[in-house]
C-alpha cells in the first residue's frame, strides 16, 4: 500500500538558514506521528515546510505517491494537506458558523453537512454557532481553528502546538479530536510541547534537537526510554 505522506531526506530553511537537517519519514493513512523537542528544535519548521509555508531546500515530499515538493501552500491545501498553525489566526468578525462555512467546499447542502460534522467533532462549538470568534474562550478558539483546517476532509492534517495555552479541562476534547481525525483516515503530524498527551495519542514519535532527529520509534517505547528527558532538552 502506498504511504499517505513521505518525507525523503527533507531539509528545511528559514531566512536562508537550514533549520531542519535531512529527515525521512513515512506515514500511513490513519496514523498519528508526534514531533517532540524543546523550543527551536525544528518541530514547527518541519510542519510549516510540509504545509508549503517554508521552503524545502533538499529532498522530496510525496502525497499518496505524488511528488508535491514544488507545490505552493495553496496547491498542497488543494491536494489534501491541511495546516492548523500555532496561534489560531481566526477571523474575529466572523461567527463560528461563518468561519466554518468559508472554509468548507461544495454547494450549500454539502457545506452545511460538513459544518454539522465539525460540530459533532467538537460538541462545545455547537452551542456557539452564532457567536463571533473573538468572544470564544481560548479552548473554543483552538477547536474552531482545528475544525476550520479539517472541514474539507483532508488526507493529511498538520497540527502545530494545538494544546498551547489551553486549560487542562479542554485538552481531552482537543486530543479526542486528533484521534477521531486519524480514525477517519487522515494522517496526522502533530508538533506538541505536552509530552504526555502527545505520546498517548501518537503511534510513533520523533524527538528533534537543533533540527535533527535524535530519538524515534513507537510511542510506547519512547515513553519509557531513559534517554527521553535528555533528548527533550537536546542532550
Q: Quick one: cell of 16?
A: 536562508
Say what angle helices 168-183 and 138-150 make with each other, to 10 degrees: 10
pTM: 0.94
**134 contact partners, CB below 8 Å, separation of at least 6:** 90, 92, 93
The 10s digit of each residue's pLDDT in 43-84 is 999 999 999 999 999 999 999 999 999 999 999 999 999 999
Q: Report the CATH number at residue 67.
A: 3.40.50.300
Say what angle helices 108-121 and 138-150 make with each other, to 10 degrees: 140
Top mean-pLDDT range of 63-67, 91-95, 101-105, 126-130:
63-67
Q: Which domain holds residue 32?
A: 5-232
Judge whether 35 and 86 are in contact, CB under 8 Å: no
Instruction: Express as a percent the part of the chain with pLDDT over 90.
Output: 82
- Residue located via cell numbers 506538541: 192
Dihedrals phi, psi of 41, to nearest 5 degrees? -75, -25
Domain count, the chain: 1
Amino acid at each position: 500500500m502506498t504511504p499517505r505522506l513521505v518525507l525523503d531526506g527533507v531539509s528545511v530553511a528559514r531566512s536562508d538558514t537550514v533549520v531542519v537537517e535531512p529527515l525521512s519519514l513515512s506515514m500511513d493513512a490513519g496514523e498519528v506521528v508526534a514531533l517532540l523537542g524543546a523550543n527551536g528544535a525544528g518541530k514547527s519548521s518541519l510542519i510549516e515546510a510540509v504545509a508549503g509555508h517554508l521552503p524545502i531546500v533538499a529532498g522530496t515530499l510525496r502525497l499518496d505517491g505524488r511528488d508535491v515538493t514544488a507545490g505552493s501552500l495553496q496547491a498542497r491545501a488543494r491536494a489534501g494537506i491541511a495546516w492548523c498553525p500555532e496561534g489560531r489566526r481566526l477571523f474575529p468578525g466572523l461567527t463560528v458558523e461563518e468561519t466554518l462555512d468559508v472554509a468548507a467546499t461544495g454547494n450549500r447542502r454539502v457545506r452545511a453537512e460538513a459544518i454539522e460534522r465539525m460540530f459533532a467533532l467538537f460538541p462545545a462549538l455547537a452551542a456557539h454557532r452564532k457567536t463571533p470568534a473573538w468572544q470564544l474562550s481560548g479552548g473554543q478558539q483552538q477547536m474552531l481553528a482545528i475544525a476550520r483546517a479539517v472541514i474539507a476532509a483532508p488526507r493529511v492534517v498538520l497540527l502545530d502546538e494545538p494544546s498551547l495555552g489551553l486549560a487542562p479541562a479542554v485538552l481531552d476534547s482537543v486530543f479526542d479530536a486528533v484521534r477521531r481525525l486519524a480514525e477517519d483516515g487522515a494522517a496526522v503530524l502533530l508538533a506538541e510541547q505536552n509530552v504526555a498527551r502527545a505520546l498517548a495519542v501518537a503511534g510513533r514519535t520523533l524527538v528533534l534537537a537543533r533540527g535533527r532527529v535524535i530519538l524515534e520509534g513507537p510511542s510506547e517505547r519512547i515513553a519509557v526510554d531513559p534517554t527521553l528527558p535528555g533528548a527533550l532538552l537536546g542532550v
